Amino acid sequence: MSAPFDLTDDSVVVVIGTGAGGGVLANELAQKGVSVVALEAGGRYLPEDYINDEWESFGQLAWADPRTTSGDWRVSKDFSGLPAWIVKAVGGTTTHWAGASLRFQDHEWKAHSTYGDVEGANLLDWPIDPREMDDYYTRAENKLGVTRTGGRAGLPGNNNFKVFEKGARELGYKAVHTGRMAINSADYDERPACQQTGFCFQGCKWGAKWSTAYTDIPRGEATGNLEVRERCHVLRIEHNEAGKVTGVIYADADGNQQEQKMRVACVAGNSIESPRLLLNSASPMFPDGLANSSGQVGRNYMRHVTGSVYAVFDQPVRMWRGTTMAGIIQDEAVHDPSRGFVGGYELETLALGLPFMAAFLDPGAWGRELTTALDHYENMAGMWIVGEDMPQETNRITLNTDVTDQHGLPVANVHFDDHPNDVAMRDHAYSQGKAVYEAVGATRVFPTPPYPSTHNLGTNRMSSNPRDGVVNTYGQSHDLGNLFISDGSQFTTGAAENPTLTIVALAIRQAEYIAAELGRQNL
């Protein structure tokens, strides 16, 4: 384990957050000999601590600090204080994620060039050439042990997948398999194979699913170059008159305020907390928030077009047995505007336990329609929609000064309105999802509204021109050279794919850049 770094040590890189972006970045830098202090707002839980009970696990892991919502999205009505279902713990949401690890398609890096001007959308091309990402994607897949890549076998299909696959084939879908998953199908990288326990969202008790909590974080610590401070909630980032960030103020586990000096700051707190931190760090030099000369901090919030389809059959399916999500139909992930929308979507198997099914199937519903559905839980199969939503300037994270958190700071308000393209895509996905199940004899099919977001994207987006975004191609602030964004908030557009693999690939790339710039004395 590394010795602690001094609070006055201004040679360290401070990484805020330890999830897919921050946890990987901290380890990659530590492996290169860079001194890193990682500040994590949550506690540390390892596989032996995870709880195979949905509500109790939620209490252990979820980010439940107060937030508010607005906009026309269904979540703002059903889950007004919980717009996002993310984790507050060492490892971040890599503890809770399902494991789906998909590369962006080439056209998705260049959404504006591909889709053209979409009315009401703030589309922009990523300042990255798709070919530049090939090697980083391969390295990310090898780090995560992604199935169906690098010669690793796919996971076995459970009953939920078998129903899904049969229906997909009946409809003529071709790209159907158990997915590219960061869940071991065989022992790999000192982690065992998946035991098909079925509580993937509650933290993998076997460690078969990749999480920074028990891979990158301990490996970074073993170098002696990484110190992780848990239960340390960053309140604001300080800077000097030269426009360089100099330190972070955080509340430690006892609630006392500390300041860690630093050479570089990397913000990886998810697309809600990262812009909130920048906005809460406003100063006379940056009156609208740190790194916000463009006015784009907090804007262009994306959460993916989501929703679920569940179906009841006359025979038991027992969808909860086996991997929570290991099945995908990729045929609709293409860009085909003849369907009535730009961009595409994936359909992925999903099983929720009975407690969450009662909460999420039709929030607020009551009576026979709901209870008879739950009565048939054993005979149910389920899938989830994930598609590319349109960035909109008005979908944004702002500070709600009427509500404060436990540290007295304004909380994030998450405002989201569906774009017409999002609605058209969701409706198309609902009808295709229903058709998949009807093709294999479903007796009842019900689309369910979107859940609290886990794929929070945008809000500090990459742009080649500083006026269009917050960071450059390496996640480096356009305004402050030694401030980086290292999570999904740097996404320019969302693509149809689950974002974690891309967040990891970008973190590997960013670590190379930061280490090289430190070596050149440029930071």
pLDDT in tens, 150-207: 999 999 999 999 999 999 999 999 999 999 999 999 999 999 999 999 999 999 999 9
- Is residue 320 in a domain? no
pTM greater than the 0.85 cutoff = yes
- Is residue 507 in a domain? yes
- Is residue 119 in a domain? yes
State the residue range of the domain holding 477.
1-46+83-97+102-145+211-301+406-411+457-523
Q: Compute the average pLDDT of residues 464-473.
A: 98
- Is residue 5 in a domain? yes
- pLDDT > 80? residue 276: yes
Residue labelled with tokens 């949905």: 54
Provide the CATH number for the domain around residue 495.
3.50.50.60
Name 59's Cβ contacts closer than 8 Å, sequence gap at least 6: none
DSSP string, 107-122: GGGGHHHHH---TT--
3-state secondary structure of 89: strand
Q: How far is CA 378 from the centre of its chain?
A: 30
What is the predicted pLDDT for the residue at 358? Answer: 86
Q: Compute the average pLDDT of residues 344-361.
A: 92
Number of domains composing the chain: 1
CA distance 183 to 415: 33
Confidence band for 3, pLDDT divided at 50, 70 and 90:
low
Count of CB atoms situated within 10 Å of the CB of 2: 17
Tokens matching residue 220: 């970074």
How far, CA to CA in Å, does 329 sit from each of 168, 183, 288?
Answer: 7, 18, 43
pLDDT single digits (tens) 136-153:
999 999 999 999 999 999
- Any idea what DSSP says for residue 59? H
Tokens matching residue 506: 């970008």
Q: Compute the average pLDDT of residues 33-43.
A: 98
Q: What average pLDDT does the structure give for the chain? A: 97
pLDDT single digits (tens) 221-235:
999 999 999 999 999
- Is residue 284 in a domain? yes
- Is residue 330 in a domain? no
- Is residue 226 in a domain? yes
Count of CB atoms situated within 10 Å of the CB of 404: 13
- Is residue 374 in a domain? no
